[in-house]
Amino acid sequence: MSDRAAIGVELAEQFTDVAQQRRAATLGMWSWLLTELLLFAALFLIALVLRILHPDSVREAAHHLKFWIGATNTAVLICSSLTMSGAIVTSRLGWQRAMVRCMLATAALGSLFLVFKGYEYYQDYIEHMTPFLAWRPYELSGDRASQLYVSLYYVATALHAFHLTTGVAILLGLAWQARANGYLQRHQNRIEIYGLYWHFIDLMWIMVFTIIYVMNR
């Protein structure tokens, strides 16, 4: 790797020094992630409650989920966390161009996840596994509770996909800003903070996958 840029953080007005600003930003992101965790936690709780109330229906429904697409997507996201870590490490070293490449790779993997996810939804649609569409009758076996579980699957995965879509958009925005020379000198912080968010989206997928797909098979 070539040109090594100076790294640093532009001091915002309200802070006394850069160390304070870094601490604040990190804690801010962790607080946000804590909130996000509880947002998902409500869904996980409902999934567990449904499993306790209707164990057979839930198992029935979980068999219709595309396990292997979900598993592939888990692998894809774990790889994307690796490239994101690459971006953070290179940003600390001041290798700005390598960092941008890592970020683009991360965004590409994130998008690949979304493509797979879209394909999975398409397959679900073909199978008439869409209990919330009034004009398209549900044609899989299983009672109303299993349809409820399928609906919950849609809510959980759509919420995650929404986070991932936002994540990819922000990542592309950051990569666009980071083209400019001297970016790392002013905003190295942003890469670190953003990395936390990306890893969190990855972690949430692992939990969604475990709780919705794996546990009920």
Q: CB under 8 Å to 169, separation ≥6 — which residues?
A: none
For other proteins, the binding residues in 75-94 under the rule CB under 8 A are 92
For other proteins, the binding residues in 156-215 under the rule CB under 8 A are 185-186
Per-residue binder mask for other proteins (CB under 8 A), 24-63, x = binder:
x--xx--xx-xxxxxxxxxx-xx--xx--xx--x------
For other proteins, the binding residues in 140-159 under the rule CB under 8 A are 143-145, 147-148, 151-152, 155
Report the residue number, 109 or 149, with the smaller CB distance to other proteins. 149
Where on the phi/psi map is residue 128: left (φ > 0), alpha (ψ -120 to 50), or beta? left
Report the residue number, 53 or 169, with the smaller CB distance to other proteins. 53
Nearest to 165 by CA among 201, 190, 213: 201
Smallest gap from residue 75 Cβ to other proteins (A): 28
Nearest to 86 by CA among 4, 7, 8, 199: 199
Smallest gap from residue 11 Cβ to other proteins (A): 5
User: Using CA atoms, how far apart are residues 18 and 40, in angstroms rounded to an integer?
Assistant: 33
Among 10, 56, 78, 177, binds other proteins (CB under 8 A): 10
User: Using CA atoms, how far apart are residues 199 and 205, in angstroms rounded to an integer?
Assistant: 10
The first and second tokens of residue 71, run together, are 């598993």
User: Using CA atoms, how far apart are residues 4 and 200, in angstroms rounded to an integer?
Assistant: 29
Q: Which residues bind other proteins (CB under 8 A)?
A: 6-11, 13-20, 22-24, 27-28, 31-32, 34-43, 45-46, 49-50, 53-54, 57, 92, 131-132, 134, 143-145, 147-148, 151-152, 155, 185-186
